[in-house]
Amino acid sequence: MHQRITLRLNQRREKPRRTWTTSVDGVGVGVAQIIEKQVLMVAKAMEDKLDEEISTLDCLDLDDLEVLRERRLQQMKKMAEKRSCWISLNHGEYTEIFSDKDFFSTIKASDLPLIC
């Protein structure tokens, strides 16, 4: 009987326990390794995407560059129009509004009102 109890106690002691060894900052080593793997996978994916974009840009000819130039020029024209519209709506200026009517007309005229 005594041998059985001793044997059972020894079997319990020999079972591997799950323990988290912690590093200095308190994050488990296993968790830190998982996070590191995930970060490396994301970095690799971003690097592959960037390499692909660079290779497509390297293969462009003059016609493709002209198309890109025209597209960028159109974007710049749209931004210039937006800026002039914003300036006409007094965006970027501090204005005191005293009447409710003026307040609501100013707010309705703008897509991005800021009230301080």
- Compute the radius of gyration of the chain from its Cα atoms: 33
The answer to whether 20 touches 29, Cβ cutoff 8 Å, is: yes
Residue 36 to residue 28: CA distance in whole angstroms:
12
For the cut 60, the answer to whether the pLDDT of residue 15 exceeds it is no
Percent of the chain with pLDDT over 70: 73
Q: What is the mean pLDDT of residues 50-74?
A: 90
Residue 11 to residue 43: CA distance in whole angstroms:
46
Q: What is the mean pLDDT of residues 15-19?
A: 55
Residue 106 to residue 115: CA distance in whole angstroms:
11
For the cut 80, the answer to whether the pLDDT of residue 61 exceeds it is yes
For the cut 90, the answer to whether the pLDDT of residue 48 exceeds it is yes
The answer to whether 77 touches 97, Cβ cutoff 8 Å, is: no
How confident is the model at residue 76, as a pLDDT?
Answer: 98
pLDDT, the chain, mean: 80
Phi-psi region of 110 (alpha: psi -120 to 50; beta: other; left: phi over 0): beta
Select the more confidently predicted residue: 77 or 14: 77
pTM of full prediction above 0.85: no
